[in-house]
Amino acid sequence: MSDQAVTLPASAGAVANRLEASGPRGPKPRHVFSRRNIFLYGTLFVVAVYYLLPLYVMVVTSLKGMPEIRLGNIFSPPLEITFEPWVKAWSTACTGLNCDGLSRGFWNSVRITVPSVLLSIAIASVNGYALANWRFKGADTFFVILIVGAFIPYQIMIYPIVIILREVGLYGSLAGLVIVHSIFGMPILTLLFRNYFSSMPEELFRAARVDGAGFWGIFLRIMAPMSLPIFVVAIILQVTGIWNDFLFGVVYTRPDTYPMTVQLNNIVNSVQGVKEYNVNMAATILTGLVPLIVYFISGKLFVRGIAAGAVKG
């Protein structure tokens, strides 16, 4: 071995020396403006502009006065910025006979969203925990029904729920809508929590049982404190989902308890009066603001939420 090691460079040396002068050496050069990069970033940039354009137009339109809108073009920035449309959209825009603006819908939505989010998550997290750790006979059957139910068009269950809510005297009230949201949020949230709790080490659950903790003890003292991320994901999912709901709002509430989306649609698509596009766009932004803020603050958790809700883990 050792004598070989000495002779090898000696014979190959001459060749190596000649190659060294001209051959590539060190890191491979990279061109920032390679054709690949231009294509890649160019495409992404164009697509990004397309995605951002509606948001831009919304904002720009809402800051213009009506005369400027009639004359100008929707893409041009406002010559004279006015917040008049925003004020009007919030406090004086009319839906039917009510002329107190979107603020009413906003507060209705808040009163709907907060309890719905809390109730639906409370129920679903316990469901998921029971399904993951305390499998009892028949539990999986109900779970499969639940999951299939998530994909069934709501239209087929709408009317029976109307009857049930009418029977218990909650039809048209905010409480009734909260119950409806909890029911229809249950499938995806239960799936989310079940998968999360299933992915936790089984031994942890066993250790807690040996320690003598029961169903609620293990959930409240061991599982829930370990699951804050998934609770945040669930909150994001539910806040945006419930805030953006239109169908349940329009079916299960009355005009004075309409959520923001329903009221927005009524303002913009009302056939009476002169169309005030700037007010409409301001109202539209206002309605989209809550989920947008949630989206931009939560960032990756939002992505995780929709991915977790959509793809089973």
Partner 1 sequence: MTEANGTSVSIQDLSLNFGAVSVLQTLNLDVAEGEFIVLLGPSGCGKSTLLNCIAGLLDISEGRIFIKGKNVTWEEPKDRGIGMVFQSYALYPQMTVEKNLSFGLRVAGVARDEIAKRIARAAEILQIEPLLQRKPAALSGGQRQRVAIGRALVRDVDVFLFDEPLSNLDAKLRAELRVEIKLLHRKLQNTMIYVTHDQIEAMTLADRIAVMRGGIIQQLDAPQTIYNRPVNRFVAGFLGSPAMNFLDGQVEAGPVFKTDGVSVPLDRYVFDGTERPTGACVLGIRPEHIAFGDAAKSMPFSASGSVEIVEPMGSDTLVWTKLGGRNLSFRVEAERTLRPGDPVQIGFDPVRASLFDAATGNRL
Partner 2 sequence: MSKSERPNPLFRNLNAKIASIPMILTASVIFVGGTVWTVFYSFTNSKLLPRLNFVGLDQYYRLWATPRWLISIENLLIYGAISLVFSLVIGFLLAALLDQKIRFEDTFRTIFLYPFALSFIVTGLVWQWLLNPDFGIQHVVRDLGWTSFTFDPLYNSSIVIYGISIAALWQGTGLIMCLMLAGLRGIDEDIWKAARVDGIPMWKTYLFIVIPMMRPVFITTLVIIASGIVKVYDLVVAQTSGGPGIASEVPAKYVYDYMFFAQNLGQGFAASTMMLLSVVIVIVPWAYLEFGGKKRV
Question: Within 82-121, which residues bind partner 2 (CB under 8 A)?
Answer: none
208 binds, among partner 2, partner 1, none (CB under 5 to 8 A by kind): partner 1
Structure tokens at 257: 């308890």
**Minimum CB distance to partner 2 smaller for 22 or for 241:** 241
Instruction: Please identify which residue in the block is written with the tokens 């299939």.
Output: 148
For residues 169-204, b (16+ Cβ closer than 10 Å) or e, as one string? ebbbebebbbbbbbbbbbbbbbbbbbbbbeebeeee
Contact status: 221 vs partner 1 (CB under 8 A): yes
172: which strand partners?
253
Site string for partner 1, 257-296 (x = CB under 8 A): ----------------------------------------
**Minimum CB distance to partner 1 smaller for 69 or for 130:** 130
Contact status: 9 vs partner 2 (CB under 8 A): no
Distance CA 158, CA 170 (A): 14
171: left (phi over 0), alpha (psi -120 to 50) or beta: beta
Q: Judged by CB under 8 A, which of 175, 213, 235, 250 binds partner 1?
A: 213
Q: Judged by CB under 8 A, which of 38, 144, 168, 220 binds partner 2?
A: 144
Structure tokens at 227: 């699951």
Our CA dihedral for 91, 94, 99, 102, rounded to 10 degrees, sits at: -40
Short-list 301, 190, 191, CA closest to 236: 301
Q: Judged by CB under 8 A, which of 67, 160, 212, 299 binds partner 1?
A: 212
Contact status: 220 vs partner 2 (CB under 8 A): no
Structure tokens at 86: 């925003």
Contact status: 79 vs partner 1 (CB under 8 A): no
Q: Judged by CB under 8 A, which of 102, 161, 177, 233 binds partner 2?
A: 161
Q: Judged by CB under 8 A, which of 66, 74, 170, 174 binds partner 2?
A: 74
Q: Cβ contacts of residue 203 below 8 Å, gap of 6+?
A: none
Q: Judged by CB under 8 A, which of 8, 48, 220, 226 binds partner 2?
A: 48
Residue 271 DSSP SS3? coil
Residue 95 DSSP SS3? strand
Report 87-106 residues binding partner 1 (CB under 8 A).
Answer: none
Q: Judged by CB under 8 A, which of 208, 234, 279, 285 binds partner 1?
A: 208
Instruction: Please identify which residue in the block is written with the tokens 């299960």.
Output: 252
Contact status: 79 vs partner 2 (CB under 8 A): no
Structure tokens at 310: 């959509």
Q: Judged by CB under 8 A, which of 80, 167, 203, 256 binds partner 1?
A: 203
Q: Which stretch binds partner 1 (CB under 8 A): 53-61, 82-90, 125-133, 218-226?
A: 218-226
Residues of this chain that bind partner 1 (CB under 8 A): 201, 203-204, 206-213, 217, 221-222, 225-226
